Amino acid sequence: MFILKGIEQLEKAIAKAKKLRPRVEFDCFGRYRVSGSKGYYTVVCKRSDNGYKTVECTCKGAEKGLVCYHAAAALSLHVGLAKQRQTA
């Protein structure tokens, strides 16, 4: 799990996601399944009570607090959906 503070933090992961093009499946708002080297990982994006945006992924990298490309891929979808919700 990591706390999302800004887009700069995601740059490397986004670049990797663009290269590897993982499949992102929508589960429900804030919850996505992303394909990885060893099957699907679940990414959960949420806003904690104290206002932090947190992202969780079930892969090994995220367990250590790294920003993985699964999270970056899921976030790009999540951010788009969040915007749609705000304008709806």
Tell me if 44 contacts Zn ion by CB under 5 A. Answer: no
Q: What's the closest the beta carbon of residue 3 comes to Zn ion, in angstroms?
A: 15
Alpha-helical segments (H) within 1-88: 11-20, 60-63, 69-87
Tell me if 33 contacts Zn ion by CB under 5 A. Answer: no
Q: What's the closest the beta carbon of residue 81 comes to Zn ion, in angstroms?
A: 19
Amino acid symbol at 14: I
Indicate the residue among 66 and 81 with the shorter CB distance to Zn ion: 66
Distance between CA atoms of residues 60 and 10, nearest Å: 17
DSSP 8-state symbol, 88 = -
Indicate the residue among 38 and 85 with the shorter CB distance to Zn ion: 38
